[in-house]
Amino acid sequence: MTPAATSAATSAALVLEDGTTYRGRAYGATGTTFGEIVFSTGMTGYQETLTDPSYHRQIVVMTAPHVGNTGVNDEDPESGQIWVSGYVVRDPARRVSSWRAQHSLGEELAEQGIVGISEIDTRALTRRLREEGVMRAGIFSGDDLVRDGYPRPVEELVAQVQASPQMAGADLAREVSTTEAYTVEPRGEFEGKAPVATVVAVDLGIKTMTPVRLAERGVRVVVVPQASTITDVEAALPDDGTPSGVFFSNGPGDPGAAGHEVELLRAVLDRRIPFFGICFGNQLLGRALGYGTFKLGYGHRGINQPVLDRTTAKVEVTAHNHGFAVDAPLDESGSTAPHDGGRYGRVVVSHVGLNDRVVEGLTCLDLPAFSVQYHPEAAAGPHDAAYLFDRFVGLLTNPAAWPPVIKLNTAQLNTEENH
Ligand SMILES: NC(=O)CC[C@H](N)C(=O)O
């Protein structure tokens, strides 16, 4: 197998907006990059992470110490390109070892112009981000660290980082969305058959596996651009009375800035079109229903996050990538009373993160709509949450069975044993 690119020790620096500086070696492309620095705890799935459009404008730190061992292949990307704005690792693999590998991760990063840094104490860095919260950062390497033959002063690098854009308030989905609609036809045992249902999926940064998970269940998925209006969405839905619904994907940026998407979703809800949303889609359902969203200290990024589904009282281990969350009341008075969603009727927080009680899913009781904050498509990650695609197909094909029953009330959730 091809050895990883070993450009001998080009210097690089990682500079945080609070002035903390880490020295390392260039990894991938050399140059300058900026972004919000976040950490991911996934031990596997670096290709899926790098190509997830939700990471647009973020510098990702891998807490796994050794990255790149299995190289890069054509099958695992979750979109057509790497989206992270920078990449921080401890120890890049010096040798690639996998029968599927086509080349090394270092080569792939360089080819796609992604500026990275290695030899960083990622444990210390992660602890800093966990304590101080995520912040803006920059990676500078090679010639960009030098001017007139002298190292550039750190204060100058810090000033550049501080002048780079914030994630809060960033409206980014349109920068990653497809500009043309496309269709993913039913596959596997459903290939060539009439679709079980048709779903119009609004691409806010959709991962490749998401429409595939629906197609594997017999659904025809029409993926449409972020800029779509309700007229475009309705035009893409079948008019022959066959089951159909709308889906909102994951995506980058601040849900608080996604005005167009919230307006579109309200139009979907007003028409009582069945709806399912993932991640950004969950935050947008929250906003459409009248809740706020807020920025978490350091977010959830990894593939081992425990979530409780209150409709089944089961805990699932799930894949996450979010920095914002829905601000919905969770444990007021310990009652099972559903939260008042105002114009859209009753809403419950159906899924709860067990590490920190963050809202991980919303279910409407008076509308055919629900969403989760995490990633049932599981690319990469465990498949515990795959049932959510079945739940959506059930909502489309058997709407009379909606809504699910909430089995676990908030009082039970808040007992000592459940903490
Ligand atoms: N994966 C996602 O959809 C992320 C949603 C949003 N950009 C966040 O950071 O919370």
Segments making up each domain of the chain, as ranges: 11-162, 173-418
How far apart are alpha carbons 173 and 279 in whole angstroms? Answer: 13
For the entire predicted model, the pTM comes to 0.95
* Residue 99 structure tokens: 């029968």
Establish whether 350 is an annotated binding residue. Answer: no
Residue 405: its pLDDT value, please? 87
Identify which of 370, 367, 391, 387 has the alpha carbon closest to the alpha carbon of residue 378. Answer: 387
Task: Clarify whether 185 is annotated catalytic.
Answer: no
User: Which tokens go with 17?
Assistant: 């907006």
What's the rounded mean pLDDT across residues 273-302?
97
Catalytic position from the list 17, 108, 316, 377 = 377
pLDDT given at position 199 = 98
Q: What's residue 407's pLDDT?
A: 81
How would residue 9 be classed by pLDDT, with cut points 50, 70 and 90? confident
How far is the C-alpha of 178 from the C-alpha of 202, rounded, in Å?
A: 9
> What is the tens place of the pLDDT at every residue in 22-61?
999 999 999 999 999 999 999 999 999 999 999 999 999 9
Determine the pLDDT at residue 178: 98
Pocket test for ligand 1, best of 278, 322, 375 (most atoms within 8 A of CB): 322
Average pLDDT (373-385) is: 96
Angle between helices 280-288 and 259-270 (to 10 degrees): 70
Looking at domain 11-162, which CATH architecture does it have? 3-Layer(bba) Sandwich (3.50)
pLDDT tens digit sequence for 323-370: 999 998 875 434 455 677 778 998 989 999 999 989 999 999 999 999
Residue 381: per-residue pLDDT: 94
DSSP assignment letter at 122: H
Instruction: Indicate if the pLDDT at residue 408 is higher than 50.
Output: yes
Give the angle subtended at the CA of 347 by the CAs of 371 and 408, to the nearest 5°: 85
253 CA: nearest ligand 1 atom: 7
Q: Which pLDDT score, from 0 to 100, does residue 4 have?
A: 41
pLDDT 10s digits, 163-185: 999 999 999 999 999 999 999 99
User: Contact at 8 Å (CB) between 265 and 288?
Assistant: yes
CA-nearest of 85, 141, 138 to 114 is: 85
Is 17 marked active-site? no
The per-residue pLDDT for 2 is 39
Choice among 279, 322, 339, 351 that is catalytic: 279
- From 279, 331, 235, select the one nearest 54 (Cα to Cα): 279
**Do residues 269 and 222 lie in contact, with contact meaning Cβ atoms separated by under 8 Å?**
no
CB 319, CB 279: distance < 8 Å: no
Smallest CA-to-CA distance from 146 within 156, 159, 160 is with 156
The string of DSSP codes covering 379-411 is: SSS-SGGGHHHHHHHHHHH-GGGPSPP--S-HH
CATH 3.40.50.880 is the classification of domain 173-418: yes
Three-state secondary-structure class, residue 158: helix
The 3-state DSSP class for residue 281 equals helix
Q: Tell me the pLDDT tens digit for each residue of 254-286.
A: 999 999 999 999 999 999 999 999 999 999 999
| 300 among known catalytic residues | no
| pLDDT value for 342 | 78
ipTM: 0.98
Task: Give per-residue pLDDT as tens, 208-258.
Answer: 999 999 999 999 999 999 999 999 999 999 999 999 999 999 999 999 999
Q: Is the CB of 92 under 6 A from ligand 1?
A: no
One DSSP character per residue, 182-231 reads EEE---GGGTTSPPSEEEEEE-SS--THHHHHHHTTTEEEEEE-TT--HH
Any atom of ligand 1 within 6 Å of the Cβ of 323: yes
Which one of the listed residues 56, 300, 339, 375 is annotated catalytic? 375
Q: For residue 411, is pLDDT > 70?
A: no
What is the rounded CA–CA span in Å between residue 268 and residue 274?
8
Please tell me the predicted confidence (pLDDT) of residue 339.
73
